[in-house]
Amino acid sequence: MLEFITDRQIYEKVLCDRIPRTKNFLWLGTADLKDLHVDKGGRMVPFLEILSDLAARQVEIRLLHAKEPGPAFRRDFDRYPNLIKGMERILCPRTHFKSVIIDGEFAYSGSANLTGAGMGAKSTEKRNFEAGIITDQKRIVRRIADHFDRIWRGEYCTNCRRKEFCADYKDLLLK
């Protein structure tokens, strides 16, 4: 399957359908990160609650993002203490790609940041115009995952000319 999706489809097919069903690992790459809310059993909850549910099931979660999230996200994060150890996070100011990799079997790659307006969770009048692809084609999923993993492992850190803006650079070198 290789499908082009836009706007609300991103929210429905990636956030609501696929992510909650993750079994082993979830990798999230985004430039911007905000207090995104999603439907869970007929009620709107912070997306962090979905991640917390996954962490409770021992799903490996990696979050790669470009800047610190806003205060509402940070407040919600404090409501889910199992994410402190249950979700790895790297802040890389050069991250601009947006991707979701689930269990190495499904991927989203597109323009949508991990925000309500980006992922299509907001109303039609408030959401961004976004587009991307979802796929379960192993070759494409592997390419998206390899791209994420090279950045995650710090492959580009040594020669990066933005290190002074990277809070996690020293931590990457110690790994």
Give 60's contacts (C-beta < 8 A, 6+ positions apart).
24, 25, 26, 88
pLDDT recorded at residue 117: 87
Closest CA relative to residue 66, chosen from 38, 36, 89, 100: 89
pLDDT recorded at residue 61: 98
Integer Cα distance of 13 and 19 in angstroms: 9
- Domains of the chain: residue spans and CATH: 2-174 (3.30.870.10)
pLDDT recorded at residue 29: 98
Can you say whether residue 73 is alpha, beta or left, with left for phi > 0 and alpha for psi between -120 and 50 degrees? Answer: alpha
pLDDT recorded at residue 164: 73
Closest CA relative to residue 102, chosen from 22, 159, 44, 37: 22
pLDDT recorded at residue 6: 95
- What is the mean pLDDT, run by run of 10 residues, along the chain of 175 residues? 96 96 98 92 95 98 93 92 95 94 98 90 85 98 98 87 67 54
* Tokens representing residue 144 in the block: 């998206």
pLDDT recorded at residue 160: 78
Can you say whether residue 154 is alpha, beta or left, with left for phi > 0 and alpha for psi between -120 and 50 degrees? Answer: left
